[in-house]
Structure 1
Amino acid sequence: MDDEEIAKSAALEERHWWYAERRAMVRRTAAAWPAGRALDVGCGGGGNTAVLRDLGWSVTGLEHSPAGAAAAASRGLDVVRGDATRLPFADASLDLVMSTDVWEHIEDDRLVAGEAARVLRPGGRLLVAVPCSMKLWSGHDLALGHYRRYERDGLARLVTGVGLEIDDLWSWNVLLRPVVRARRRGKHESESEMEQVNPVLNAGLRTAVALERVLPLRRLPGVSLVVAAHRP
């Protein structure tokens, strides 16, 4: 993702339904774990990093892009510039490594998964969200610099292949998958979908995603996949 797209994402982050519900998902998941030392790999504008901070974690955001690092730092967050495939942290030094919509941007995702495993302490946790299913591949993925979208089995193999044990792997943004698929069908030109949304529509879309908290949809195909794992 280039600096222009990152700056646009940072500007949308506070109110856009997708970012807001992703933060809510991070908050619900991480709140169940004892706070410790965390790293948000590919933190972008720092919205999810701030969620961990507010939950009591001692959290650092790692961001490769100058624009993203500047946006996160402007929120008072601890940010370092760095490469997800060469994390500037010692072995077994962290209690949580989080990456939300980052692994798909890295050509060799085995490297970033292996680095996450390396820096986790025994018992340390991994929380990763990625886009789901090549059936949804479109110009949106091209615009954001994606190398792939993930299938459930492939993501599980990637995580277990670096020595981590999966605690849960679930779908997110399930109810809106038919809408997304219809919108993206046949669109191969590079064009990001991240844009301002009418406030009424924005509230409706956020409500649709929020409903998934109480409906049994986690095993159905969604727009994203989320995996929680730990280092034995």
Structure 2
Amino acid sequence: MLDATPTVSALDYRDIFELRGRLYHQAMQKVPNARDNEFLNVVREARITPGMTVVDVPSGGAYMSRHLSDVELIGLETSQTFAELATARAQNVLLYENNQFPLKDACADRVLSIAGLHHVRDKCEIFLEMRRILNPGGRILVADVAEDSFVRRFLDDFVGHYCETGHSGWYFGASTRAELHDAGLNIIGDKRLDYLWCAQDMEQLADFCRLLFGMTLADTSTVADGIRNYLGIRELGHQVGLNWQLHCFACES
């Protein structure tokens, strides 16, 4: 473990990914199935069926599109970089600002948010917008790093040490439950999702994480050591996986 004080980032989501969104996208292009378990876990929790309108926010480079078919998928982003990368892949991603979505009321059957909201300090405005665009009987799924988790320690201690932008966040916990309630949402599911990020070998897995988190101050070997020390790994025969975890809230209006 690192003894040094973790680097603290004062940047918000848009600023962070304008700086390192292309590295993040490079990781997702090089190992596109690394986070399959993450996306599929949320899809299962959301109970998505064909014909639904699904909104993904923030959508990054529209990575959810690999895991959903026979639905209308709308991505929302504040990062121009991510929006351009998604458009280049012929994916439908709209830019928004000031926590206001460019969508009409009651237009979505499902609203998903995976691992982006820890870069947002005040989540209540986002949750209010999610509720506004949700159809009656629709469902919101938000999944992100928990404040008391080993993943948070990896991000703020290890990633923060080797990423030029640092890493800190406003993670899921009791305050998130309060913000969801304040937005008029009813929490119907509240659980931890445990799963693996996978690659063909440790070198590929470490390189994926180095690019994804913008750890330009570390080499692949250093990142591999950090993964072992903070997260732990599992040998899967033809693959290797690192332990990962998000906290997931399922909500209705």
CA drift of 1:78 comes to 0.9
| Maintained 8 Å contact 2:188/2:250 | yes
Aligned to 1:5: 20
| Maintained 8 Å contact 2:139/2:250 | yes
Query: Do the aligned partners of residues 86 and 27 (structure 1) sit closer, same or farther apart at CA in structure 2, a change above 3 Å counting?
Result: same
Query: Higher Cα Rg: structure 1 or 2?
Result: 2
| SS at structure 2 position matched to 1:12 | helix
Partner residue of 1:161 out of 160, 182, 192: 182
Q: Is 1:205 matched with 2:249?
A: no
Query: Do the aligned partners of residues 94 and 84 (structure 1) sit closer, same or farther apart at CA in structure 2, a change above 3 Å counting?
Result: farther
Q: Is 1:147 matched with 2:161?
A: no
Query: Do the aligned partners of residues 95 and 25 (structure 1) sit closer, same or farther apart at CA in structure 2, a change above 3 Å counting?
Result: same
Amino acid at match of 2:22: A
Q: Is 1:80 matched with 2:94?
A: yes
**Matches of 1:193 and 1:35 in 2, distance apart?**
40
User: Superposition RMSD on alpha carbons, in Å?
Assistant: 3.2
**Matches of 2:196 and 2:43 in 1, distance apart?**
20
| Maintained 8 Å contact 2:42/2:143 | no
Identity of counterpart residues, as a percentage? 21
**Matches of 2:45 and 2:215 in 1, distance apart?**
26
| Maintained 8 Å contact 1:44/1:72 | yes
| SS at structure 1 position matched to 2:241 | helix
Query: Do the aligned partners of residues 21 and 126 (structure 1) sit closer, same or farther apart at CA in structure 2, a change above 3 Å counting?
Result: same
Aligned to 2:83: 69
Aligned to 2:57: 41
Amino acid at match of 1:115: E
| Maintained 8 Å contact 1:130/1:150 | yes
Query: Do the aligned partners of residues 230 and 40 (structure 1) sit closer, same or farther apart at CA in structure 2, a change above 3 Å counting?
Result: same
Superposed counterparts of 1:89-104, under 5 Å: 89-104=103-118
**Matches of 1:82 and 1:62 in 2, distance apart?**
7
Normalised by the length of structure 1, the TM-score is 0.72
CA drift of 1:10 comes to 1.5
| Maintained 8 Å contact 2:113/2:143 | yes
| SS at structure 2 position matched to 1:89 | coil
Q: Is 1:225 matched with 2:240?
A: no
Amino acid at match of 1:132: A
CA drift of 1:44 comes to 0.5
CA drift of 1:156 comes to 2.3
Aligned to 2:45: 29
Query: Do the aligned partners of residues 11 and 110 (structure 1) sit closer, same or farther apart at CA in structure 2, a change above 3 Å counting?
Result: same
Query: Do the aligned partners of residues 145 and 157 (structure 1) sit closer, same or farther apart at CA in structure 2, a change above 3 Å counting?
Result: same
Q: Over residues 143-195 of structure 1, what are the superposed CA-to-partner deviations in whole Å (9 max), with x where a residue is unaligned?
A: 476431122x332222222111222121123789xxxxxxxxxxxxxx75699
| Maintained 8 Å contact 2:37/2:195 | no
Query: Number of aligned pairs?
Result: 199
**Matches of 1:28 and 1:36 in 2, distance apart?**
14
| SS at structure 2 position matched to 1:166 | strand
**Matches of 1:79 and 1:144 in 2, distance apart?**
27
Q: Over residues 26-72 of structure 1, what are the superposed CA-to-partner deviations in whole Å (9 max), with x where a residue is unaligned?
A: 332345546411211111011114423x2x21111111112101121
Normalised by the length of structure 2, the TM-score is 0.66
Q: Over residues 92-125 of structure 1, what are the superposed CA-to-partner deviations in whole Å (9 max), with x where a residue is unaligned?
A: 2211111111222122111111111111121111
Query: Do the aligned partners of residues 105 and 6 (structure 1) sit closer, same or farther apart at CA in structure 2, a change above 3 Å counting?
Result: same
| Maintained 8 Å contact 1:97/1:116 | yes
